[in-house]
Structure 1
Amino acid sequence: MAIQKTEKIWHNGKFIPWDEAQIHVMSHVVNYGSSVFEGIRCYAPPTGPAIFRVQEHAQRLLDSAKIYRIDVDFSREELVAAMVELVKRNGVWPCYLRPIVLRGYGEAGVNPFNSPTEVYICNYPWGKYLGSDAEQGVDTCVSSWTRIAPNTLPAMAKSGANYMNSQLIKMEAILNGYVEGIALDADGYVSEGSGENVFVVRNGTLQTAPLGNSVLPGITRDSVLRIAHELKIPVVEQGIPRELLYIADEVFFTGTAAET
């Protein structure tokens, strides 16, 4: 789905025109993938725009930055306020918000510490990530690509570098006629999709991989777990063998972008 630009982007505390949000080709992020980001939905109830679990998303952004040793000069509250104001200024909702923290133009080389931190927040209209027919289900394969292993890249961080692994999973699925791929972890257990957490239903029990199985701590994943507990649906967070995907009563994805 093509990006639909809006009027303003928030950059380091200021609102700038969309087309002025540019970085140099020699920025550290371009050469070495040094960025962390979030994806957040803003809805349009009758009471006005509502950004879903914005506090949790902002905190995860800061957590990801901390894991990658990126210093961010803005607090969670300041980032939340910036997102709220951006939605109001652009006057676009429902929408998708994309906060990005990246290492900019500084020095060449892997060492990132002398490249400045840049913080951007964009918002724009965005529809169904997995297609307009996703409510009917999507064709999915088990990927030949393994999800990033513990102690290689931090799976709990939502970083641009990690999503190179996601791209391999997604491209393989598309080239083989599927909409999405499900990756296994380094031990052969179900991990997640290219950009979604995975849930399995078997005999009335809801199962999902624990965080130790190379999964992102998804905000929507957490929401589903909370709702399941409230509804007294049995929930198990444990390693899911691949074959359980084939005999499950239901398999579904959760994710901010992947909602149906």
Structure 2
Amino acid sequence: MTTGSTTPPHMWLNGKLVPPSEARLDFLTPALHYGVAAFEGIRCYRTPRGPAIFRLQEHLERLLHSARVLGWRELPFGIEDLAEGCKNVVRASGFRECYIRPLIWLAEGGWNLTVDGGKAHAGIAVWEWKAYLGAAALEQGVRANVSTFTRHHPNVMMTKAKISGNYPNSVLAKTESLRLGFDEAILLDPQGMVAECTGENIFVVRRGRVITPPPGAILEGITRDSVMTLARDLGHEVVEQPLSRDQLYIADEVFVTGTAAEVIGLR
């Protein structure tokens, strides 16, 4: 795997468990050329009762919403098929904790730049992926800069959808930050307000209030939603409001959330 972790013995491809050697894409797969694919990242955690997939239903609902944003009106598989596929791949892997990557892509057709008349395929892979930003980040936090790149405007790229073609924006910002000696990048929206990081939502804590940018030019993260719910349950005031860049510098705390990153402080 390009993640540098253990390769699982099986992947799920269009309803069947297959060895990774059979899960290969043709060079002329349209999704490779045009970024026409929707995906999710899902965590599976070790528990006393065995592996437990975190908020699987919500992740797969978002996956199908992303596919709908791309223009697919019908798909040859539903949420139940994908859920069973995720569970089967985790079982077959033998992993107690893992990261799950379902992907729906335009496999045939699409050369006229539409999904109409094309054929969608779906695959699911799992791998062992512990600390996305490094083990030390969980204790020490990471360093981030405000990127020179801007997050997409919703009328340019649909920001509510987790679409492969959206991610060069993140790749550019993250690469720039790493080359400058930082660990992560903070992107502003087209109006100059704080949006999110390259793969994480962002929160600030200021005078006891937990503040996060509103839905707009951000992906509405499932970990973000979980953190907001838990914070409110613990009695904290949680507010969704526009966040100016200067508020990052005067905040008492800044942290980011995401399925891969989990919950990480910025320093």
TM-score by length of 2: 0.94
Amino acid at match of 2:77: F
Aligned residues of 1:41 and 1:256 also touching (Cα < 8 A): yes
Deviation at 1:107, TM superposition (A): 5.1
Amino acid at match of 1:184: L
1:148 aligned residue: 152
* Structure 1 residue ranges without an equivalent (≥5): none
2:118 aligned residue: 115
1:228 aligned residue: 231
2:30 aligned residue: 28
Deviation at 1:3, TM superposition (A): 4.2
2:137 aligned residue: 134
Aligned residues of 1:28 and 1:115 also touching (Cα < 8 A): no
Deviation at 1:19, TM superposition (A): 1.4
Q: Which of 190, 199, 214 lines up with 1:195 in the alignment?
A: 199
* 1:249 and 2:248 correspond: no
1:1-260 mapped onto 2 (5 Å cutoff): 1-70=3-72, 71-106=74-109, 108-135=111-138, 136-212=140-216, 214-259=217-262
Amino acid at match of 1:154: M
Aligned residues of 2:71 and 2:115 also touching (Cα < 8 A): no
Aligned residues of 1:180 and 1:193 also touching (Cα < 8 A): yes
CA–CA distance in structure 2, aligned partners of residues 161 and 40 of structure 1: 19
Question: How big is each residue's C-alpha offset from its partner over 1:71-123, in whole Å with a ceiling of 9 and x where there is no partner?
Answer: 32222122111111111112112000000000013353423323310100111
* Paired residue total: 259
- Name the SS for the 2:47 alignment partner: coil
- Name the SS for the 1:22 alignment partner: coil
TM-score by length of 1: 0.97
Aligned residues of 1:24 and 1:105 also touching (Cα < 8 A): no
- Name the SS for the 1:211 alignment partner: coil
- Name the SS for the 2:67 alignment partner: helix
Question: How big is each residue's C-alpha offset from its partner over 1:102-155, in whole Å with a ceiling of 9 and x where there is no partner?
Answer: 001335342332331010011110121111211201010000000001211100
CA–CA distance in structure 1, aligned partners of residues 66 and 42 of structure 2: 15
The sequence identity of aligned pairs, in percent, is 44
Amino acid at match of 1:60: R
After the TM superposition, which segments of 4 or more aligned residues of structure 1 sit over 4 Å from their partners? none
CA–CA distance in structure 2, aligned partners of residues 24 and 175 of structure 1: 33
- Name the SS for the 2:245 alignment partner: coil
RMSD over aligned Cα, in angstroms? Answer: 1.2
* Structure 2 residue ranges without an equivalent (≥5): none
Aligned residues of 1:36 and 1:160 also touching (Cα < 8 A): yes
- Name the SS for the 1:61 alignment partner: helix
CA–CA distance in structure 2, aligned partners of residues 114 and 26 of structure 1: 16
* More deviation, 93-102/227-236: 227-236
